[in-house]
Structure 1
Amino acid sequence: MNVFVAKDKKEGSQKVFDLITQEMEDGAKVFGLATGSTPEDLYKIMTSSDMDFSGITSINLDEYVGLSPEDPQSYRYFMEKHLFSKKPFKKTYVPNGLAEEAEENTRYNKIIAENPIDLQILGIGTNGHIGFNEPGSSFESETRKVALVESTIDSNKVYFDHEEDVPRYAFSMGIKSILKSKKIILMAFGKNKAEAIQQMIEGPVTEEVPASVLQQHPNVIVIVDEEAGSLLNR
Structure 2
Amino acid sequence: MGRAAAQDIASSIKTFLTNQPVVRIIFAAAPSQADVLENLTTEEDIDWSRVVAFHMDEYIGLPPESSQRFGNWLKVRIFDRLPFNRVHIISPEENPKNSANKYSKLLNEAPIDIICLGIGTNGHLAFNDPLDTDFADSEDVKVVPLDAINRRQQVDDGCFKNLNSVPKTAITLTIPMLMSAKKMFCVVPGEAKRQAVWRTLNDPITPSCPSTTLRTHSGCNFYVDNGSNPER
Aligned to 1:130: 125
Distance 1:97 1:182 in 2: 27
Aligned to 1:178: 178
Match of 1:139 among 124, 127, 135: 135
Are 1:52 and 1:87, in contact at CA under 8 Å, matched by a contact in 2?
no
Distance 1:184 1:127 in 2: 20
Structure 1, residues 127-151: CA drift from partner, whole Å, max 9, x if none?
A: 0001010003101232111111111
Structure 1, residues 141-173: CA drift from partner, whole Å, max 9, x if none?
A: 321111111111111123224542211111000
Distance 1:216 1:99 in 2: 36
- Of 114-123 and 153-162, the range deviating more from structure 2: 153-162
Aligned to 1:16: 5
Are 2:57 and 2:171, in contact at CA under 8 Å, matched by a contact in 1?
yes
If the length of structure 1 is used for normalisation, what is the TM-score? Answer: 0.89
Aligned to 2:37: 43
Distance 1:89 1:69 in 2: 22
Q: What is the SS of the residue equivalent to 2:222?
A: strand
Task: Report the CA distance between 1:86 and its aligned residue.
Answer: 1.4
Distance 1:120 1:195 in 2: 23
Q: What is the SS of the residue equivalent to 1:159?
A: coil
Residue 75 (str. 1) matches residue 59 (str. 2) = no
Are 1:194 and 1:231, in contact at CA under 8 Å, matched by a contact in 2?
no
Matches within 5 A, 1:172-211: 172-211=172-211
Aligned to 2:15: 26
Distance 1:70 1:207 in 2: 34
Matches within 5 A, 1:56-71: 56-71=51-66
Structure 1, residues 55-90: CA drift from partner, whole Å, max 9, x if none?
A: 100110000011244211111110111111211211
Q: Which runs of 5+ in 1 are unaligned?
A: 1-11
If the length of structure 2 is used for normalisation, what is the TM-score? Answer: 0.90
Distance 2:172 2:125 in 1: 9
Are 2:10 and 2:40, in contact at CA under 8 Å, matched by a contact in 1?
no
Distance 1:162 1:197 in 2: 26
Task: Report the CA distance between 1:101 and its aligned residue.
Answer: 2.7
Residue 151 (str. 1) matches residue 149 (str. 2) = yes
Distance 1:200 1:45 in 2: 26
Are 1:145 and 1:171, in contact at CA under 8 Å, matched by a contact in 2?
yes
Are 1:43 and 1:83, in contact at CA under 8 Å, matched by a contact in 2?
yes
Structure 1, residues 100-147: CA drift from partner, whole Å, max 9, x if none?
A: 132122111111111321111111000000101000310123211111
Structure 1, residues 18-77: CA drift from partner, whole Å, max 9, x if none?
A: 111211221251111001101101121122344442210011000001124421111111
Aligned to 1:9: none
Distance 1:17 1:34 in 2: 14
Q: What is the SS of the residue equivalent to 2:67?
A: coil
Distance 1:45 1:95 in 2: 24
Task: Report the CA distance between 1:201 and its aligned residue.
Answer: 1.3
Match of 2:86 among 83, 87, 91: 91
Root-mean-square deviation (CA), in Å?
A: 1.6
Q: What is the SS of the residue equivalent to 2:154?
A: helix
Distance 1:221 1:181 in 2: 12
Q: Which has the higher contact order (CA 8 A, sep 6+)?
A: 1
Are 2:9 and 2:185, in contact at CA under 8 Å, matched by a contact in 1?
no
